[in-house]
Structures are given as structure tokens and as C-alpha cells.
């Protein structure tokens, strides 16, 4: 099957193509230099052509996501997608159901999505659900923040076995990335406590959050994983947490990167950039974090924008969700996972009239505008925690248009945002090329998948998004509404050379790939480590070890990334 | 005000989903057009005229339209959903979800109404001359924002869990009330002229309930005082009433329950 996309205005930052008129040729699902025979042609003249979008952090499928849907039938009733044109029905405003999530992402031009917090015990569920998310390629990040094996090997000072153990967990859960959520805090939550600073002890293990972060960052590089550690630091969402954030990032400065990329990925940075010491004198410290990230090369972050919607917050950070529940008195679910982590879920209403929420809205944008290199600050709302992913077009419009931001600043949000942040003083506006970085190229690069994803060079997957925006006609600064509308639904979404979406309507729903990492360590070491695992399973887990790992065959279209790490002995 | 009359021809064995029976939809339409409106029998699309004989004339606007339903429509759901003005008069018994999310206008039911009627109502006047089912004027499943305005009067009895998460408005039940009246109530006013079953006002954090007789009060309610002929929410009551505050199962408890001393 061959396809030619003619005359589009192409933005492909990884190949340094910045708005040139260029033809894209796809054969057998890959981008090629030449086509051989008869082929379909898409005329994209006057349209914006970008690589398929890559979502690096979105809770769209998994254990707590399902619990969140069950907790909020009223959210399901708010938006209903009827069965139509051969598509499955679905529902949910802040938490669209699995099939619908795949459709909505494809309609926005996204072709890869990653679910960023999979408790290892929920891996089987997560992969079952990922199998029900059509079109997009995906992966899951297993959480290691409160993992008893990890903390035990850290305490015993056995970095080799720790590496072997992490490799085993990635293999067993078919995960791609080491995710750390509130390190140590989730284990302490089992005792009704939290870990606020990086030196707070973890009850029963005699290790600290700092040791967990640093230990896992080193393991990550020894195993040569494609992505760095994916970190949600301690103390999320509390006034004055900027100190903890910077201290945590500083831990990874000396770690040597194996793959010439960042060594720590700070996720939803907005929630970690708070100043002040109470909600009364709460203020933005985005400038401080931005300054830090501008000065160093080992950090990449995503914004975690707040979109001022009614949403459902869900993290693996159980104590934080309880804290939120106490603020709002809304319903709440605690979903503790034995030996591993402790997610929680509660609804949250971000209000335009609330000074704190308005400052949070400003922080997300400030970070994107204050960090100079767009490859270091990616666009995400931490769906659904800051807002649903369906709001991305609006965030893009905010980033591209100073007047649009000013309109919100002056007329829509609380005046506290002007006092508590520096957003009003920022006049930077993103270009289409910057947008291509923060929504696809940067994501693919940070994930370490930039050979296949996030660009339109020869050899890349044939994933293309064509938007009905003519960069020659549209001035994003003035026509921000046109930008918002243009990015909401693609003219075409092409996945592996197949036309999936045409004029915003879905025409095909193929199964996407599921990527997972398989770092192979020294055989002897692996055997020694497994002895400990067996012992622990017998003693503590409610699950039998034989039933725990997810089989390769279980993934509908698994793609193993095998890594030779036999030098870990 | 102009009138449209719907005469029941037949009622199916499965429920009809009929949110199209509303003044806003009928306004400016001829009786022919109204008979052609889609309604759902289970998952099958049918015409309104298959089940009702339509006559009369609709008004120019929602507020100018009165709908009279002659016959028993116990299996017709969602009549008057989201109505903002106009009038509905049902000369029989009504089905589930009648007037849910209603914001204004007037609804009268000569017979009984089924469960889940007038959920999350925000305004309007309702008179049910028979009995009301469970979840009258409550919040929809999962929601913590229930009825916010309007008044509902029930001449007969009401079912369980009426006015859950109530945030405003008034419900007056002239008969008895099953258990959990006003559970999670936040604001608003409930008057029960008859006897209320157990767990009245469970976990209420605000609002006022007046009951003639209560089977038992929950442990979370504290007696405050006894008042003779009290005036509650600017309404006068005769006899001696005992005032309770609660429900202290929640730390924010600021609700009040008045129970008549027999």
C-alpha cells in the first residue's frame, strides 16, 4: 500500500523542516524516499502537515482509571458518544471510556499514547484495557516508588540485584519506563503517613526518597532503557513545594546518561512549582524551575496544564488524593496495592473564580513560555488531573497567542493570577514548529523512540497528522480561535500509511502496537535475584508468582524492545 | 397559552424514552409534526403518533405551550426533561425521570409518579396528587449536586431517598415518607406531614427538615430545644416541636430536623 501526501506545509523539527512545502511518501507503513507504483494521493496544499502526535503522559487506561470511571457515573452521563459509523459507543467527559479515548486521540492527530502509572500488580488489567484502545500505539510505565524489592535492595546496597529486579519487573509487566510516584510516600501511606521531603525515612525500610530516586536513575542508565526515569516527586500540589522539586532534580545531575538524553523526566511540573507557605500567600515559582531547567541538560519536563474544567484527579499518590479529598469533601477512592504503590482518586473542580486554580492555570503556561528550549518542556495536562486531553487545542492556542492569554487573564480568570504569576509579562508566542516539538517531536525524543516516532524522515513510521490550518493565511496570534478549531480535529490522520481519520471522521480502527522494554541482564544474576523474588512472593503477595507475569502472547500487538544489558553482573 | 392534547393509544411493555414530550420541543409545531417526533421504544426508534393521538395546537414559544396527557403513562420516561417554561398536565400516572433537570414551568400529575422524578431540579412548580416514587427530587447517580430550586408538593406518600444531596428548593410531602429522606442534604427545606421512616437526614450538613412523626432519629443528631408553635423558614407550624441538629457523623454538620411532639 502506497500513499503520497502532496504539497503540504510540513513541520518536522527533528529533521529541521520548518514550514516547507514538501511531499511525504509512505510505503508499507514507513516513510520512504520513492514510491514504486500506483498509489493514492492526498492533496494537502494549504494544510499543516506534522508527524503523528505522541502523548507522553496521560492516564487514559489502567486500573485506577477504570476505578475513576466507576466512581463517577455523573461524569459518564455528562458526555455520551453513541454507537455510530461502526464505532463503539462510549461515555465520559474527563475520563472517556477506552475505545472512545482511542478515537478522540486519533481525531486530534495523535498516533501514540502512553499510560504513565501502572502498578505492576494491575499490569494484566492494563494490557487488557490497552488492547481495547484502538488506533494509537501505546505503552505503560510500571511504578516502582513503593516497591518492596527495590527498597530492600537499596537498603542492602546491592545495585546489581536491584538492576536485575527492575529488569524482571519490566519484563513481567510488559512495561516500558521506570515510573516513580511520590517515592517512599506511597509506602508510608500504608501507615497513614507521607514522605514530604527527600530525606524523610520510609517506614520499615530505612531508606529515603532521595535514595530511591537516585538508585533507580542509576539503574535506568545501567539497563540503557530508552526513556529516563519518569518522576513525580514528593510533595505534589502543596504550597512551597518548589524546594523539594529542585532538590529532587539535583539528585540526578551527576547520573551519566546511557543514551544521550535527559536522566530525569519531571512530569506535570505545574503541580511542583508552587511557592508560598499556605493557600493564602500561594504563588507561582515557575520562574525558579524554568531557570533551573534552562541552566542544565539532564531534565526534561511536561507542563501539566490546568484547563479550568471539572475533572477527575487520579494519581498513584494516595496521600495527596486524601489531602485533596479533605479540601473538597468530595467522594474519594483509595486503591492501595500490596507491596507496590497506593493510588487514589477524587473528583476536582478547577474554577476560574478561584485564585489558586487561576494561578495554577498561569503556572502551566508560564513554564512553557519561560523554558527556552521547547524540547525540554512538553505539552500535557496529566490527563485527567489538570484537565481532559480534549483541551489540548485550547492550550496550543494559548501558547501561540498572547492576546488570547491576555483575554483570559483580564476577563476570564481570577485577578489573583496576575498577582501570583508572571504570565502577564510574557509576550513569547509559540511558532507552529515549537508546537510540533511540544506535541510530538520532543515527546518522541524524550521517550527515546525518535527513530520511529515524532518525525517524517525516511524510515519513520508512516504516522502523519494533517490539519486544516494554512500557515500562510492564519496568523495564530490574532486568529487563535481558528488555531483552536484547526487542532481539534484533523483533516487527515494517517497511521502506518493508512488513512484513519478524514475530515474529523474515523474511517478505520486498526490495532496499535504496545511497546515494552526487555533489558537482558547476566543470566547468573537473574537467577540469584529470582530466588529472592520467589521467597518474597510466598511470604507477602496474595498472588502466586506463576500467575504474576503478563505473557507476551497476552498483548494484542506487542513490540519488544530488547536491550543487551549483560554487563550488569 | 395554547394546548396540545396527547391521548394514550397504547403503552408498550418496555419503557418509552420520550424526552421529546416537552413544551420546548412542541412549541411552533403543528399536531402533525408533533406526531412525527421520534421517541424510543427500548432501542427502537418510533414515532410519537404510534403511541399517542395528538390534537390541539402548540404555542409560539415554550412558555406559551401547555401539554395535556390523557391516560396512564407509567411506562413513558423523561417527559418534560430539562423544561424551562410552559406547562405539563398528566391526567393519570407518570413514568420515571419526569421533569428531570427541570428549570421552570409547571407540572401537575393527577395520579402517581414513578422513581427518579424531578432529579436535579432547579426551578418550577410541581404538584403530584397521588404518591411519589423513590428518589423524588434527588441527585442523579454519583452526583453530589442535587435539587437546587423550585417546589414539589406530593399529596400522597413518597418513597425512599427523596431529596438526596438537596441544595435548595422545597419538597412538601403530605403523606408518609420512606427511609433516608434528605440524605446528604446541604440546603433546602423538606416538610413531611405524615410519618417518616428511619434514617431521616442521614449525613445532612445543612438545610431543614420538618416531620410530623419520625420512626427513629439517627445517633448523629443532638436534641437542641423544644419550641412551641415555631416559625421555620418563614412558615408557621402549630404544636410543640423538638429541634435536632446534625448529622454529626460529618464534622461540617449544620442541618436541622424538627419533629412534632405528639
Q: Are A521 and A167 in contact (CB under 8 A)?
A: yes
Q: Counting Cβ atoms within 10 Å, is residue A217 exposed (0-12), middle (13-18) or buried (19+)?
A: buried
* Neighboring chain B residues of A72 at a CB cutoff of 8 Å: 142
Residues contacting residue B68 through CB under 8 Å, at least 6 positions apart? B3, B4, B5, B6, B56, B89, B91
CB A224 within 8 A of CB A170: no
Given phi > 0 = left and psi -120 to 50 = alpha, else beta, which region is B43?
Answer: alpha
Interchain CB distance below 8 Å, A72 and B144: no
- Closest approach of chain B CAs to the CA of A140, in angstroms? 29
Whether omega for the bond prior to residue A483 falls within 30 degrees of 0, making it cis, is no
Interchain CB contact of A69 with B (< 8 Å): no
| Closest B-chain CA to A332 | B142
| CB-CB contact of B239 with B210 (8 Å) | no
**Residue in A closest to B146 by C-alpha:** A74
Chain A to chain B Cβ contacts (< 8 Å): 17
Helix ranges (DSSP H) in A223-263: 242-251
DSSP A232: E
Do the Cβ atoms of B83 and B101 come closer than 8 Å? no
User: Which residues of B make CB contacts under 8 Å with A?
Assistant: 140-144, 252
Q: Compute the distance between CA of residue A231 and CA of residue A446 in angstroms, rounded to an integer.
A: 13
- The 3-state DSSP class for residue A497 equals coil
- Interatomic CA distance for residues A361 and A365, integer angstroms: 7
How close B237 comes to chain A (CA, Å)? Answer: 34
SS3 state at A461: strand
**CA separation for the pair A472, B31 (Å, rounded):** 53
If you measure CA to CA, which chain A residue comes closest to B165?
Answer: A330
DSSP per residue, B231-253: EETTEE--SEEEEEEE-TTSTT-
Check CB contact under 8 Å for B140 and A331. Answer: no
Integer Cα distance of A213 and A220 in angstroms: 10
Residue B178 phi/psi, 5° resolution?
-75, -170
Set of cell numbers at residue A460 = 519513520
pLDDT at A1: 80
Q: Which pairs with CB-CB distance under 8 Å and at least 24 residues apart come from B74-78?
A: B74/B11, B74/B112, B74/B114, B75/B11, B75/B12, B75/B13, B75/B14, B75/B15, B75/B16, B76/B11, B76/B15, B76/B16, B76/B18, B76/B21, B76/B51, B77/B15, B77/B16, B77/B17, B77/B18, B78/B17, B78/B18, B78/B19, B78/B21
What would the mean pLDDT of B95-109 be, rounded to a whole number? 96
Is A329 within 8 Å of B143 when comparing Cβ atoms? no
Q: What is the SS3 string spanning A83-133? A: CECCECCEECCCCCCHHHHHHHHHHCCEEEEEEEEECHHHHHHHHHHHHCC
- For residue B186, give the C-alpha cell: 446541604
Least Cα separation, residue B74 to chain A (angstroms) = 24
Q: d(Cα A189, Cα A394) in Å, to the nearest integer?
A: 36
Element (H, E) at A10: strand A2-12
Nine-digit cell at A485?
478549531
Res B13 pLDDT > 90: no
* Residue matched to cell numbers 427541570: B102
H/E segment holding residue A75? helix A73-78
| Chain A partners within 8 Å of B119 (Cβ) | none
Cβ of B141 within 8 Å of Cβ of A75? The answer is no
CA distance B105 to chain A (A): 24
Q: A330 vs B144: CB contact, 8 Å cut-off?
A: yes
Q: Smallest CA–CA separation between B142 and chain A, in Å?
A: 5
User: Which residues of chain A from 149 to 208 reach within 8 Å of chain B, CB to CB?
Assistant: none
pLDDT tens sequence for chain A (569 residues): 899 999 999 999 999 999 999 999 999 999 999 998 889 999 999 999 999 999 999 999 999 999 999 999 999 999 999 998 899 999 999 999 999 999 999 999 999 999 999 999 999 999 999 999 999 999 999 999 999 999 999 999 999 999 999 999 999 999 999 999 999 999 999 999 999 999 999 999 999 999 999 999 999 999 999 999 999 999 999 999 999 999 999 999 999 999 889 999 999 999 999 999 999 999 999 999 999 999 999 999 999 999 999 999 999 999 999 999 999 999 999 999 999 999 999 999 999 999 999 999 999 999 999 999 999 999 999 999 999 999 999 999 999 999 999 999 999 999 999 999 999 999 999 999 999 999 999 999 999 999 999 999 999 999 999 999 999 999 999 999 999 999 999 999 999 999 999 999 999 999 999 999 999 999 999 999 999 999 989 999 999 999 999 999 999 999 999 999 999 88
Contact predicate A464/A50, CB 8 Å: yes
Distance in angstroms (rounded) separating the CA atoms of residues A252 and A229? 10
Asked if A264 has any chain B CB less than 8 Å from its own CB, the reply is no
Summarize pLDDT for B220-236 with one digit per residue, the tens.
999 999 999 999 999 99
pLDDT value for B141 = 92
Chain A residue numbers with beta carbons less than 8 Å from the beta carbon of B45 are: none
Amino acid at each position: 500500500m502506497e500513499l503520497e501526501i502532496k504539497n503540504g506545509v510540513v513541520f518536522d523539527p527533528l529533521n529541521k523542516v520548518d514550514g516547507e512545502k514538501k511531499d511525504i511518501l509512505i510505503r508499507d507503513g514507513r516513510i520512504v524516499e520513492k514510491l514504486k507504483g500506483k498509489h493514492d494521493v492526498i492533496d494537502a496544499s494549504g494544510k499543516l502537515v506534522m508527524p503523528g502526535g505522541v502523548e507522553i503522559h496521560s492516564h487514559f487506561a489502567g486500573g485506577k482509571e477504570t476505578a475513576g470511571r466507576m466512581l463517577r457515573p455523573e461524569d459518564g452521563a455528562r458526555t455520551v458518544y453513541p454507537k455510530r459509523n461502526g464505532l463503539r459507543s462510549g461515555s465520559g467527559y474527563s475520563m472517556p471510556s477506552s475505545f472512545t479515548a482511542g478515537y478522540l486521540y486519533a481525531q486530534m492527530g495523535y498516533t501514540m499514547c502512553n499510560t504513565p502509572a501502572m502498578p505492576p500488580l494491575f499490569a494484566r488489567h492494563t494490557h487488557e484495557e490497552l488492547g481495547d484502545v484502538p488506533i494509537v500505539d501505546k505503552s505503560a510505565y510500571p511504578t516502582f516508588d513503593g516497591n518492596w524489592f527495590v527498597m530492600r535492595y537499596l537498603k542492602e546496597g546491592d545495585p546489581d540485584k536491584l538492576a536485575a529486579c527492575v529488569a524482571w519487573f519490566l519484563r513481567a509487566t510488559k512495561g516500558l519506563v521506570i515510573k516513580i510516584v511520590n517515592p517512599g510516600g506511597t509506602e508510608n501511606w500504608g501507615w497513614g503517613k507521607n514522605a514530604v521531603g527527600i530525606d524523610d525515612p520510609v517506614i520499615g525500610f530505612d531508606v529515603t526518597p532521595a535514595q530511591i530516586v537516585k538508585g533507580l536513575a542509576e539503574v535506568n542508565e545501567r539497563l540503557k532503557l530508552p526513556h529516563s526515569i519518569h518522576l513525580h516527586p514528593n510533595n505534589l500540589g502543596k504550597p512551597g513545594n518548589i524546594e523539594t522539586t529542585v532538590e529532587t532534580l539535583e539528585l540526578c545531575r551527576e547520573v551519566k546518561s546511557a543514551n544521550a538524553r535527559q536522566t530525569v523526566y519531571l512530569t506535570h511540573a505545574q503541580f511542583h512549582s508552587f511557592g508560598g507557605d499556605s493557600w493564602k500567600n500561594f504563588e507561582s515559582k515557575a520562574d525558579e524551575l524554568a531557570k533551573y531547567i534552562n541552566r542544565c541538560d539532564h531534565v526534561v519536563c511536561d507542563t501539566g496544564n490546568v484547563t479550568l474544567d471539572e475533572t477527575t484527579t487520579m494519581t498513584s499518590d494516595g496521600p495527596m488524593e486524601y489531602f485533596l479529598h479533605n479540601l473538597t469533601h468530595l467522594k474519594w477512592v483509595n486503591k492501595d496495592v500490596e507491596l507496590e504503590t497506593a493510588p487514589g482518586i477524587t473528583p476536582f473542580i478547577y474554577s476560574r473564580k478561584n485564585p489558586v486554580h487561576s494561578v495554577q492555570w498561569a503556572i502551566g503556561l508560564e513554564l512553557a513560555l519561560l523554558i527556552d528550549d521547547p524540547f525540554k518542556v512538553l505539552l500535557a495536562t496529566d490527563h485527567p488531573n489538570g484537565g481532559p486531553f480534549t483541551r489540548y487545542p485550547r492550550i496550543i492556542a494559548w501558547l501561540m497567542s498572547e492576546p488570547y492569554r491576555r483575554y483570559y487573564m483580564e476577563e476570564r480568570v481570577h485577578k489573583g493570577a496576575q498577582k501570583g504569576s508572571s504570565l502577564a509579562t510574557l509576550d513569547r508566542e509559540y511558532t507552529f514548529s515549537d508546537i510540533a516539538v511540544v506535541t510530538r517531536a520532543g515527546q518522541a525524543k524524550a521517550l527515546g523512540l525518535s527513530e520511529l516516532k515524532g518525525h517524517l524522515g525516511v524510515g519513520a513510521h508512516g504516522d502523519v497528522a494533517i490539519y486544516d490550518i494554512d500557515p500562510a493565511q492564519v496568523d495564530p496570534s490574532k486568529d487563535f480561535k481558528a488555531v483552536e478549531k484547526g487542532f481539534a480535529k484533523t483533516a487527515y490522520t494517517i497511521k502506518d500509511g493508512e488513512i484513519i481519520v478524514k475530515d474529523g471522521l474515523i474511517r478505520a480502527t486498526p490495532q496499535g502496537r504496545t511497546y515494552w522494554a526487555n533489558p537482558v541482564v547476566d543470566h547468573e544474576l537473574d537467577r540469584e535475584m529470582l530466588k529472592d523474588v520467589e521467597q518474597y512472593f510466598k511470604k507477602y503477595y496474595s498472588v502466586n508468582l506463576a500467575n504474576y507475569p503478563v505473557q507476551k502472547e497476552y498483548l494484542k500487538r506487542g513490540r519488544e524492545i530488547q536491550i543487551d544489558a549483560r554487563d550488569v553482573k | 397559552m395554547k394546548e396540545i392534547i396527547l391521548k394514550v393509544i397504547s403503552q408498550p411493555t418496555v419503557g418509552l424514552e420520550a424526552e421529546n414530550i416537552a413544551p420546548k420541543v412542541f412549541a411552533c409545531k403543528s399536531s402533525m409534526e408533533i406526531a412525527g417526533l421520534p421517541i424510543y421504544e427500548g432501542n427502537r426508534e418510533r414515532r410519537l403518533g404510534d403511541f399517542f393521538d395528538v390534537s390541539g395546537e402548540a404555542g409560539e414559544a415554550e412558555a406559551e405551550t401547555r401539554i395535556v396527557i390523557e391516560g396512564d403513562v407509567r411506562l413513558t420516561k423523561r417527559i418534560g426533561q430539562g423544561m424551562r417554561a410552559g406547562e405539563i398536565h398528566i391526567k393519570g400516572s407518570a413514568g420515571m425521570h419526569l421533569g428531570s433537570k427541570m428549570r421552570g414551568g409547571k407540572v401537575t400529575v393527577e395520579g402517581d409518579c414513578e422513581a427518579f422524578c424531578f432529579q436535579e431540579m432547579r426551578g418550577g412548580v410541581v404538584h403530584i396528587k397521588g404518591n411519589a416514587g423513590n428518589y423524588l427530587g434527588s441527585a442523579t447517580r454519583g452526583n453530589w449536586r442535587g435539587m437546587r430550586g423550585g417546589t414539589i408538593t406530593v399529596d400522597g406518600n413518597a418513597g425512599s431517598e427523596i431529596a438526596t444531596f438537596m441544595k435548595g428548593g422545597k419538597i412538601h410531602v403530605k403523606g408518609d415518607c420512606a427511609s433516608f429522606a434528605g440524605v446528604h442534604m446541604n440546603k433546602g427545606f423538606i416538610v413531611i406531614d405524615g410519618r417518616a421512616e428511619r434514617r431521616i437526614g442521614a449525613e445532612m450538613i445543612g438545610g431543614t427538615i420538618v416531620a410530623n412523626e419520625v420512626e427513629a432519629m439517627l445517633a448523629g443528631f443532638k436534641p437542641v430545644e423544644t419550641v412551641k408553635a415555631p416559625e421555620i423558614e418563614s412558615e408557621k407550624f402549630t404544636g410543640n416541636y423538638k429541634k435536632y441538629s446534625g448529622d454529626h457523623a460529618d464534622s461540617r454538620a449544620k442541618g436541622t430536623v424538627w419533629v412534632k411532639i405528639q
